[in-house]
Structure 1
Amino acid sequence: MSSDRPAVRRPRAAGLLAVLLLACAALLGTGGPARADSTPAAGSAATVVDVLRTGPIYVDPAFAAAVTPAQQKELADRIAATGLPIKVALVPLAKGDAFDGSAKSLAAVVNERLGLPQLILLTNDDFGTWLTGTEWPTDTHQTHDSAFAVSLLKELKDAGLAARVGRAIDLIGSGTGTAVYKAESERMDREYAARPHTESPAPGTSSGGGSTVPVVTAAVVVAVLVSAGGGYLVRRRRSHRRDAAFALPAVVFAADLAADEAGLRRQAAAEVLALGEAMDGADGTATPGLSRALDAYDAAGRVLDGAHDLADLAGVLALAAEGRAALAPEPGLPLCFFDPRHGAATGRTAWRPLGRREQVDIAACADCTQALRARRAPQVLAVRDQGRTVPYFEVPAERSLWAATGYGSLLSGPDDTLAARVGTGQFSRARQYSTDPKD
């Protein structure tokens, strides 16, 4: 790096690089928890497709108890009664399997290999609890909403997987999926509005430390049910168009209870290392943001050292992105407000949490922006807070630097940075307030 880099900072940066290199070496080979006896065997993609070529339903042995042969026959009869090209594929998913643990990949593989001109496909979600629906070439039969509506219906709260699949088939066949989805969403909105709840300080109020902190609070109705594996998962709900009053009454939680924290820690460490290398290669005389990038680098190292959950590790990504932006010729947007793991935001949009009158200007990635415009809830980073699984931004600001700042979306101006907040002790104070053990 240029000699203009502050000499007093050099030992800190060099030490961080050494620590991070050791951390990366220690984490090599560390992976997320495996799912014993549930990962599809090699060639399972071909097996799924072969079965679906001759019949409407594939049920992996892992789901045999949830959807018995008799229930499969009943579901096949219901599919036949609709006269529609509906297929059902229930496959346990895990990172590194034939579908890389993704329900989207499962649907894409089945569609591509079947090669049908029209296909309506129901699958389980990434963690096997709920359903996702996809239709090709277009969503003519409201397949997407039909699958999500099933997760909201009160009468199916304690129903098994077979019952949910059957109801989704009926909604697709009748073309009423969207109407039921909207009706159930509105019911949950009304039920939430009738509940007493405590609001956090409005944007622009102080959150401690003498600084003005814009705060997002989202009143969230969470459809929490017990999954087949016993974990609590939360399903997606709708949000309104940008020109409407935005709400996110029950956001899509990305099933963070089973997320690969070790993998995210490796990614965070690699991002900080990459930022350090970028600073070393920068010309101090031609990079006015070099000092700010170094502040972000130091802050990212501190947060990485003290990170105890996914929200903190996502904060490392946000700080590394802030450092890279400081090195760039033009300022850029922060990472996605809804989940920094989505990557850099592509634009800003107005968003109003349920139960609040004021809108908040947030930065969102392309997928989340498209979801909002399509009246779908974007995927949101979920965290554990006092025994509950909630969107990270629902945690009170005094317990979360990330809720207070939206990972950079809610900063008050160019001089208000994530690095500065870490430097004034806001991250450390938030850790002291945290009461949940490390998940």
Structure 2
Amino acid sequence: MASDLTKIVASLRRSPVYVAPSLTAAVPEPQRLVAAVKAAPVPVFTVIVPLAAGGEFPDAEHLADAVHRRLRRDCVILTLDEGSPNDISAQEYGVDRDAIQAAGAVNLDPALDSASLTDRLIRCVQLITSGQAHAEYEKQSKALDERIRGPRRQDGRSGGHTAAYAVGGGSVAVAAVAALAVWRWRRTRVVRRRPRPVLTDARSAASLREHAQAELVRLGEALDDAQGDAGRLREALDAYSAAGKALDAARTVPDLAGVLVLIDMGHDASEAARGGRGPTPLCFFNPLHGDGPVAVRWRAVGGRERITVRACAACAKAVRARETPDVLRDGATPYYEVDPARSVWATTGYGQFRGDLVQRVLRGDLRRR
């Protein structure tokens, strides 16, 4: 029997909108949404399925990533958001249309609170198409800020909450605090993880080096105006410095994979500084596989202890079936079986065995003996 993912992708190859049978009532007049999607300047796919912790699709990001891996094309993918059944989540793959901001603008717009999911999705696609997503998100964010905090008075103080407390008493103040918490939550929901490409098709160290150089520049640009928690930003800068040092010393594909791991750590720390999700490692067996969302118990050949590592779905499935996963090799040897004295990647499991990979690179452990 075909899996739900197989059915979804097969349907998307025929139509850019897929709605699970159990949710068809939530998306009335889907043909209007199809028309809006087809008018977009980039491929947009809408996947409306239930999200459930512990299920095949635990959250929006995993669903979108799984669909994208099967579709194998640059696109925007819109789904429901696991945090709220009325909110939209967006992921971009190889395109830059501010789709995440488009979804955020729709989620924050009170005029759309009572709109159908079809109308909300159409509005999201319209913002993607028009190029106005970022401006609209800023507008809705500012408006929500003013509604929650109240207008600024001439003396510079915020009047909204104080007045509410004086008129309505403690219960209204509690409601205001709760509303502020919702504001913060909805704002941070827009800070989504960037897509992490699968790079196993890169056939040479030269092509990987070119990709790593471009990604390092992107991280540097992101950190130029980064804001948020100072400690997390320091971690991001350290990871950036380590990635640059590793790139200079890189000679092999495992070395370049390590550069990409360090760059990913920098992005993780930067996003955490802004209130985004915490770190999510790349696949332990081969970081070029992309995300490692699945925790799996594994024991190396000849090893005594089983350890927990994070892996991509394919590698996790192989381990659970007692098969050999598609491992990144250093020559003919799995990278983690290389003498630890010669490889910081083997020593740390690309950061999954221990949390000091960045520090080891910065202090010079890259050199091969």
The TM-score with structure 2 as length reference comes to: 0.46
Instruction: Answer 1 or 2: higher relative contact order, Cα 8 Å, separation at least 6.
Output: 1
The TM-score with structure 1 as length reference comes to: 0.39
